[in-house]
Structure 1
């Protein structure tokens, strides 16, 4: 029984039936780098590749840009692998290298200002679009006097309002019940009177609950302690849930909240490039730090974890707030990464609506012209990206939304798990026969988090950097490869499985399919096979 279902029962005051805890036993912390034949997990065979095919082979450093919410540049497992702009690394308040970005030592932050203030929270793009258009459509009704385009725009607005209202209702419900459960757990913890790290299920057995909700809170706590592997982890997850829904109500879906004024830019001027500050860590660098570690956590030390690539410099570009990123910042982030030598760009973010797609498309085309490979997370909505686009994406479109071209050196990544079971395809992962290129490990991924700590996260946000790390490995050991060749090698070397997976359809029903039915390559990326394929490419190029 999952936590969402338990919260529903908590809300209506019913005591749930005890379910069986689902724990991921016998799955190594480094599973995404392991090999199925050797380790019985569906990793990408990173370790096997280094131990055999790449043993004693020379490599050259490759710059990988992490476009995200920030990276902890002081992390013990990342310090050695950071990109450093030696021409402008002195914090003297001057633009020493004359590139328009003052003291951009580790990269740049496009959601901050010159005073050092940073955007932490922002709306969803859905909220921003409704706020922009609601006065325009306040008195409008569909009529025959509208042009076809006006009717399309109006109907699209009505659909957005419907989606918005649904999301807001869910967020309010989630916030109410997560906070309610957390309050009850907090009261029970006070009664137990022990440090959270020491609390066990036995402590809850000794309690005399007051009322049905405390009974349910105890039942939930006991089940989730078993699943999470301890009370502290369960409590942290519960707090994250309360914060998540609370932030949706307070910021993401709040039409009255608008943090953009902090930046001081002219937001509607998409050509504006030089704004922001050099604080690439920002107020919450958990997500970006986790992503950076998957790509390139130091493989040469004996601490922490091992990233996929072993000769990488991480260039941090902060542009993702707690909320949806903005198209202007995405475009500028891509351009900044390209201008500073990135050969691979990881983008573990996405949204269901676009504000200024032409600006992002132009930046993507710029990256293509400079031989840069872009890797993007497919999204975590269990949706078909062919039907419900996730932005940004590789498809260039005109003003009517018709596809006019495709970014060739772009890889969209869905998420898979470690076993050939119901988690082969992560239940949250988006998919798409025409829009998702490959799959990669995205469940139970242990990686770096701020303050030199480590944590397990999941999402296509974790699968994307696995592929970005693989791309960096290939471009490091085979610098002759172009971005497009690197993509072709990754696509043509996937592990294809006959096992079926279950996907959720648009109408809410489920369907059993193969990975080949929901992606272009039909498989999970594999470093060992990719390096074998790269060797074949190099031999052909020499002939």
Structure 2
């Protein structure tokens, strides 16, 4: 499941939470355009913002250096291959000829010019929505274990029974919460539609866009909420209230899909792919459509890593234009399958990726062993894995989230770096309220709240989540690899951890009202910092 923070943390949630009457209370704290669009690149000392100091690094340390090519794989929902900010930096498999139905490079994947899609069929159809893993476990074992007595089962079946009980509890909880959220979003859509309609009547217009609202705020004292509505739309990058309602409608659709599909044990789209799910060693299934039916999440992550810098469009990526982005699609709306994750990692490694960005995760991983094997394969090939910590406000030192920081045998995965999400405020809100954390299992934090980046159709949007924090770190790793190509995956991880800017700000522990030292929430105790990482890489190389 893609790790965009779910309600009430995303901008779509704000639409649901804010109605016409409450806009004014939000307008007073609107950030500047610079802070909204580029805050992750800023520096604490120079700009007063706890970003990664990317601008400072390029300005003071990298300007006279010559970068080398780096390939970063984004295992995600797909990437819009025509986006103006991404098209020049997307990987192309030079050994493959598009559309000829032949595996020209003999890598087992036919026509994989831009990457691969493990969620599609040979006929070109694609899975958009999948079930959650707990839904699949309930569907698989309900007939066998519902009403069964554990003590009467075999030892092997007791293990399965215990997993079924945990999955059932999680499934029922998620279904109840999603039904409530769906009702809430539908009501919010109705309320906002009514409120926006009333303002249109008051102003006698058909469209409430930002230009009109700005003018009304200055000239129409009889419509006092025009100014606060204008500020709300600007802050969330909506051109009009119609655009805002469109986004909320999309949130309603996603919630309905979770109720009717992701949390429906009878729903199973997998036959569309045509593979044998029981054969975990199977490869070559899928299709070359690495964009897929909804590439919003993957496109956003790709832009964070390497969207063109300095072109005056949208948002800048962390890495420069020597980086290429490979799209590997394994993450639907719903939970990814372990088999697809393992194959995605192996595909990326075998096709030259040096860094893999993975902004997905789930609560159960019944075939974790096959994912572990793929991660070990990546380690053997010197590939760095950058993984989002998750958005459940959990201490992952104690609670499970997959892919995890440890192998099944309990040993830490040496080439994986796990990333929590931080905000632009060096206050008690520095830690994203949704972010998972863990002194042992989360390596570092990075900007992940209100991150502006590319979305399909040459558009841009602000998302929040550890999904956004992981590609920030993947971008840092890509910069380091580009300017210091001799660095290994383990050295990249070491540099990013050791160069993180330490913060001892008292923050709210995610999921609680307890105040804690920010440094206690991750292994490094800090926020990833490109400027300091480049300095440390310089020092490391000088010793050789």
Say yes or no: TM over 0.5.
yes
User: In 2, distance between residues paired with 1:28 and 1:120?
Assistant: 30
1:281 CA displacement: 0.7
Q: 1:486 to 1:171 in 2, by over 3 A?
A: same
For the 8 Å contact 2:16–2:189, the answer to whether it is kept is no
How many pairs does the alignment contain? 517
1:70 to 75, 78, 81: 78
User: In 2, distance between residues paired with 1:184 and 1:307?
Assistant: 37
For the 8 Å contact 1:130–1:160, the answer to whether it is kept is yes
User: In 2, distance between residues paired with 1:435 and 1:300?
Assistant: 35
- Normalising by structure 1, what TM-score? 0.89
1:384 CA displacement: 1.1
Alignment of 1:236-247 (within 5 A): 236-247=246-257
User: In 2, distance between residues paired with 1:221 and 1:238?
Assistant: 16
**Can you give the 5+ residue segments of structure 1 that lack an aligned partner in the other structure?**
208-217
User: In 2, distance between residues paired with 1:152 and 1:358?
Assistant: 16
Cross-structure match for 1:394: 405
Q: 1:188 to 1:526 in 2, by over 3 A?
A: closer
For the 8 Å contact 2:434–2:510, the answer to whether it is kept is no
1:107 to 83, 99, 115: 115
Cross-structure match for 1:526: 529
Shifted more, 183-192 versus 298-307: the winner is: 183-192
For the 8 Å contact 2:451–2:462, the answer to whether it is kept is yes
3-state DSSP class of the match of 1:414? strand
1:498 CA displacement: 1.8
For the 8 Å contact 1:126–1:160, the answer to whether it is kept is yes
User: Residue 445 in 1 paired to residue 451 in 2?
Assistant: yes
1:182 CA displacement: 1.7
User: Residue 154 in 1 paired to residue 161 in 2?
Assistant: yes
- Normalising by structure 2, what TM-score? 0.88
> Residues 482-515 of structure 1: CA distance to partner in whole angstroms, max 9, x if unpaired?
100111001000101121111145xxx4321122
Alignment of 1:382-461 (within 5 A): 382-398=393-409, 403=410, 405-461=411-467
For the 8 Å contact 2:193–2:245, the answer to whether it is kept is no
2:172 to 165, 168, 174: 165
Q: 1:252 to 1:517 in 2, by over 3 A?
A: same
Q: 1:52 to 1:236 in 2, by over 3 A?
A: same
For the 8 Å contact 1:413–1:464, the answer to whether it is kept is yes
**Can you give the 5+ residue segments of structure 2 that lack an aligned partner in the other structure?**
1-6
Cross-structure match for 1:212: none
Q: 1:519 to 1:282 in 2, by over 3 A?
A: same
Cross-structure match for 2:26: 21
> Residues 162-194 of structure 1: CA distance to partner in whole angstroms, max 9, x if unpaired?
221121111111112212332344455566462
Shifted more, 357-366 versus 40-49: the winner is: 40-49
1:324 to 335, 357, 377: 335
For the 8 Å contact 1:200–1:231, the answer to whether it is kept is no
1:369 to 365, 380, 405: 380
User: Residue 486 in 1 paired to residue 529 in 2?
Assistant: no
Cross-structure match for 1:213: none
RMSD: 2.9
For the 8 Å contact 2:114–2:327, the answer to whether it is kept is yes
Q: 1:152 to 1:24 in 2, by over 3 A?
A: farther
For the 8 Å contact 1:88–1:96, the answer to whether it is kept is yes
User: In 1, distance between residues paired with 2:222 and 2:248?
Assistant: 22
Q: 1:16 to 1:83 in 2, by over 3 A?
A: closer
User: In 2, distance between residues paired with 1:50 and 1:86?
Assistant: 30
User: In 2, distance between residues paired with 1:61 and 1:9?
Assistant: 45
1:245 CA displacement: 1.7
Alignment of 1:7-86 (within 5 A): 20-21=25-26, 23-26=29-32, 27-86=35-94
User: In 1, distance between residues paired with 2:42 and 2:183?
Assistant: 41
User: In 1, distance between residues paired with 2:154 and 2:276?
Assistant: 31
1:55 CA displacement: 1.6
2:355 to 328, 344, 368: 344
User: Residue 88 in 1 paired to residue 93 in 2?
Assistant: no
1:205 CA displacement: 11
